[in-house]
Amino acid sequence: MIQIIGTRMADDGRTARQIFDDVMANPARARFGFGERLAIVNVDFQNAYTRIDRYKTAYETDPRQIEHVNHISALARAAGMPVVWSRVGYADDASDAGVWGTRTDTPDSLQNIKYGSDRHAYDDRCAIHPGDTQFTKRMPSAFHETPLQSLLVWHKVDTVVVTGGSTSGCVRATAVDALSRGYRTIVPMETTADKLASYHWANLTDLQLKYADVVPVADVIDWFAAR
């Protein structure tokens, strides 16, 4: 007879949002917490993913998402800490999209976000300042083949605050990579977005349990206020 020590996959009828709320109400993990210096890493705040009035690929979860991001980015600048904006974009032949760009080929497809296009442009509601770091990435994580790691080392950053979209895609990939590189990783829940609620809440739950501190954006604001 086999003794079950662990657990088989559970399906108790709760929605992804209910599971998230239960996890947040009954934390089972210690927080990583904030360190001494942080960077705000804002992922893919570009028209292709934020302008629900223009593109089918765009999504919105919290209508105040960009407002919250602008606020904590301003606090970081005032404290002399880096603010980073990433976006995705590709060459005309999509050769730099790699195999990721081979699954579909429609006007809305990932690899058809061309450099300099409206889909590639940052959302004009984002308060991007001249001193902020901006770069185009080609894969989900903002760390993959970008200057982000060297920038964080230069600024002596020990904490990465990840915002943006999608929660289940590029935000998650960036947060996992941040933890993998030894950074305390913070995801303010109101600053992320996804196309489907189930994706959004399930991935916030998984991030909270494994890779990051998922916190209200007020926690980030309070951290700056306490300095």
Residue 1, pLDDT > 80, answer no
Which of 48, 170, 178, 202 does the annotation list as catalytic? 170
Q: What is the pLDDT of residues 44-100, one digit of tens each?
A: 999 999 999 999 999 999 999 999 999 999 999 999 999 999 999 999 999 999 999
* Helix runs in 41-108, H state only: 47-50, 65-78
Q: For 30-226, CATH number?
A: 3.40.50.850
β-sheet bridge partners, residue 42? 85, 163
Q: How many residues does the chain have?
A: 227
What pLDDT shows up at residue 205? 98
Q: Could you state, in order of their start, the residue ranges of all structural domains in the chain?
A: 30-226
DSSP class of residue 95? Answer: G
Per-residue DSSP letter, 70: H
83's enclosing H/E stretch is strand 83-88
Query: Is 126 a residue of the active site?
Result: no
Determine what percent of the chain falls in helix, strand and coil, rounding each to the nearest 5: 40, 15, 45
Q: Tens digits of per-residue pLDDT, 146-205?
A: 999 999 999 999 999 999 999 999 999 999 999 999 999 999 999 999 999 999 999 999
State how far the Cα of 163 lies from the Cα of 226, in Å rounded to an integer. 21
